[in-house]
Amino acid sequence: MSNHLINEQSPYLRQHADNPVDWFPWNNAALEKARRENKPIFLSIGYATCHWCHVMAHESFEDTEVAETLNRGFVAIKVDREERPDIDHLYMTACQALTGQGGWPLSLFLTPEGKPFYAGTYFPKKGRFGMPGFLDILKKIAQLWETSPEKLLDAGNAVTRIIKQAGTDGPGGPIPPVEETLTHAYAALQNTFDAKHGGFGAAPKFPTPHHLTFLLRWYSEKHASPALKMVEKTLQAMRGGGIFDQIGYGFHRYSVDTSWHVPHFEKMLYDQALLMMAFAECYQVTGKPVYAGIIDETLTYLLRDMRHPDGGFFSAEDADSDGEEGRFYLWRPEEITSVLGRETGALICRFFDITKEGNFEAGMSIPRIPVPDAVFAEEAGIPLKELRALLQKAIKNLFEHRNTRNHPLKDDKILTSWNGLIIAALATASRATGHQAPLNAAKRCADFILASLKKGPRLSHRYRNGNVAVAGFLEDYAFFAWGLLELYESSLDASWLETCLQLTDTMIERFEDQPGGGFFFTGKDETSLFHRTREIYDGAIPSSNAVALSNLIRLGHLTGQSSYHEKAAALIRRFSSQVSSTPQGYTHFLGGLMASVAPYHEIIVTGNPAEKSVSRIITWLQRQFLPNTVILNYKPGDEILPELCPFLKSYPVKGRQPVVYICENRSCQKPVSTLEEVRQSLMAEQDR
């Protein structure tokens, strides 16, 4: 028999709809049942592609003994962390306060009022290796609730007080010296950089693309070549490692070792987005074709495997298939030779390190590239061009063969926030490479979100199978606005900027923390949680406050409206002391912090982009890495842009030839009209 999850749209919740546990989704009915029956709540938070969530489900939630104990003494609530990041943020904070750590599956015990008193992550059914057993925990808590409920209630009240107090530390004091904070972050990244393998820290090793984009900004500002070397080493090492799907493309979640060899095999949409952004910016900085190639590979994966027919992008692909983590991605040499033939197969096995012994488990190998193709070609005595053609054909054939295997689960819900990230990445990639395909994909995705997940001024968070649910969070507004900003700067279509401004104004109205500055994660009408959290730490994805900061600074320069800069300044005051203590944990925020103090340029190109002389200037500007710069194209007859950016009326369009104004905080140089003059003016600015 099914439980109360049977009518939910979340793939994760539906995975548990046939458990013998009497699961409820997080809703008023479940919370009221706990209060009415005076039972503690067991809250389980995970997501559809979480390997250890699957393990705990098989061991405990599919077990009748566990289910009987849970159903008798508790109200069991299951939450998809991706569908309800507000619940996840709050109770992850509680878990960290109680245990000093967190992760998924996230397992908490709450009072009937939702106050947490015990927490952990994965628990085996029965205790082992010093880890408590889930069944024993259930029985002990049920006994305590029966005999000494005041102890658990007091613990819940204490944890709640800690969480609330941590979130009410006022508007912040004096801003620590910005240069000192930025320098501290750069030094910390240098100290943790793995010079041999790229990346930061020890195993497990995560991509952390916002570290890389911060380092590119540091390089651009300080001309610090070590910063660029760290970025390039990391990007190239990931592309050659097992963390990249060498046969089907796309990046896995993280590496369990230091050399990017063995990944945790799930693929997340946000990783593709943020890494594509890093590759695009690195291509702008270096002009090296290898980075444009990796952008194309990632785009191939996204459009082939992760896009809804109407243009939105799905959330993730699971690590498991056939009940085994990574099975879909593993190879044996004999399978390779059966597809490619003995001679070609042997060469491809050497290239991708697929061995008889296996580079992963006994006899099984993860394709990776131990040496660059140019080095391999020289060692194998094959012309590089011939090797690349051979690889291209072999990968195509191996991909077609792999497609006959049982595929991992695809989490096909569409999230506004993550789609905002992919729009931003695609639009930036198009600007960097000059390719139209990423821009077209970004436009289709934005059109889908606007048609399906926006109603009036407000956004919803989740779409699946035509069903829209969950009021939008701060990350939905901030990330989608970021995507629209990049879309505007790539297409110079003012309608994207207009929508971005509308959503940003709604974000301020619904989420702003007054008088403290910054933004709450949930809207002002949220009532089901005991506390409204503020998100600032840059984890797997940038924090919503960090993205909001960058957006506000850019919009202030684009529109000339000082109110956006005032909101940005308040946000910096609110969080700067926290950020300055360990700035390497807030590297996306640091990008906004850097933009708030660095020379910031507005470049106004007047003229019709259909004219070759105008389009050449715009295209060249878009290909450059100019992080603290906004570009506006004021076209003849344009009625939208001057309304959004009233200062443009001071820059009249003159005839068919371009006139370019290069300004710093609205103080402009003498206008120029040729690409060479634009180049010289920008070089002079950079040399100042």
Domains of the chain, residue spans: 11-166, 178-321+411-597, 327-407, 601-687
Grade residue 655 by pLDDT with cuts at 50, 70 and 90.
Answer: confident
Q: Which residues on adjacent β-strands are paired with residue 118?
A: 109
Would you put residue 543 in left (φ > 0), alpha (ψ -120 to 50) or beta? beta
Q: Which residues on adjacent β-strands are paired with residue 106?
A: 45
Supply the mean pLDDT for the chain. 95
pLDDT at 314 (0 to 100): 98
Q: Which of 668, 216, 647 is closest to 428 using CA atoms? A: 216
pLDDT at 665 (0 to 100): 74
Determine what percent of the chain is predicted with pLDDT higher than 70.
99
Grade residue 441 by pLDDT with cuts at 50, 70 and 90.
Answer: very high
CA atoms within 13 A on the CB side of 43: 33
Mean pLDDT, rounded, for 676-688: 83
pTM, 2 dp: 0.95
464 φ/ψ angles, rounded to the nearest 5 degrees = -160, 130
Sheet-wide strand order for 659-664: 629-634, 601-606, 659-664, 667-668
Tell me which DSSP letter residue 646 carries: G
Q: Reply yes or no on whether the pLDDT at 3 is more than 60.
A: yes
Tell me which DSSP letter residue 61 carries: I
pLDDT at 161 (0 to 100): 92
Residues 295, 296, 301, 302: is their CA dihedral positive or negative? positive
Question: What are the pLDDT digits (tens) for 271-304?
Answer: 999 999 999 999 999 999 999 999 999 999 999 9
Considering only the top CATH level, what class is 11-166? Answer: alpha beta
Distance CA 208, CA 10 (A): 27
pLDDT at 602 (0 to 100): 95
Question: What are the pLDDT digits (tens) for 292-336?
Answer: 999 999 999 999 999 999 999 999 999 999 989 999 999 999 999
CB 496 within 8 A of CB 483: no
pLDDT at 650 (0 to 100): 87
pLDDT at 137 (0 to 100): 97
pLDDT at 173 (0 to 100): 63
Q: Reply yes or no on whether the pLDDT at 170 is more than 90.
A: no
pLDDT at 176 (0 to 100): 84
Distance CA 325, CA 319 (A): 5
Q: Which residues on adjacent β-strands are paired with residue 660?
A: 605, 672
Q: Reply yes or no on whether the pLDDT at 481 is more than 90.
A: yes
Distance CA 437, CA 677 (A): 30
Considering only the top CATH level, what class is 601-687? Answer: alpha beta
Helices (H), 381-493: 384-402, 416-433, 436-452, 474-491
pLDDT at 515 (0 to 100): 86
- Biggest alpha carbon distance in the chain? 86
pLDDT at 461 (0 to 100): 98
pLDDT at 528 (0 to 100): 82
Grade residue 683 by pLDDT with cuts at 50, 70 and 90.
Answer: confident
Strand 41-46 relative to strand 75-80, pairing: parallel
Q: Reply yes or no on whether the pLDDT at 168 is more than 90.
A: no
178-321+411-597 matches 601-687 in fold: no
Residue 400 CB coordination number (10 Å): 11
Grade residue 688 by pLDDT with cuts at 50, 70 and 90.
Answer: low
Mean pLDDT, rounded, for 213-234: 97
pLDDT at 171 (0 to 100): 56
pLDDT at 649 (0 to 100): 87
Question: What are the pLDDT digits (tens) for 87-105?
Answer: 999 999 999 999 999 999 9
List the single range of 132-136, 260-264, 605-609, 650-654 with lowest mean pLDDT.
Answer: 650-654
List the single range of 181-195, 561-575, 652-666 with lowest mean pLDDT.
Answer: 652-666
pLDDT at 227 (0 to 100): 98
The first and second tokens of residue 489, run together, are 């700067």
- Domain 178-321+411-597 = CATH 1.50.10.10: yes
Q: Reply yes or no on whether the pLDDT at 172 is more than 80.
A: no
Grade residue 243 by pLDDT with cuts at 50, 70 and 90.
Answer: very high
CB 19 within 8 A of CB 33: no
Grade residue 447 by pLDDT with cuts at 50, 70 and 90.
Answer: very high
Question: What are the pLDDT digits (tens) for 125-167?
Answer: 998 877 899 999 999 999 999 999 999 999 999 999 998 887 5
pLDDT at 560 (0 to 100): 93
Q: Which of 658, 659, 662, 656 is closest to 681 using CA atoms? A: 662
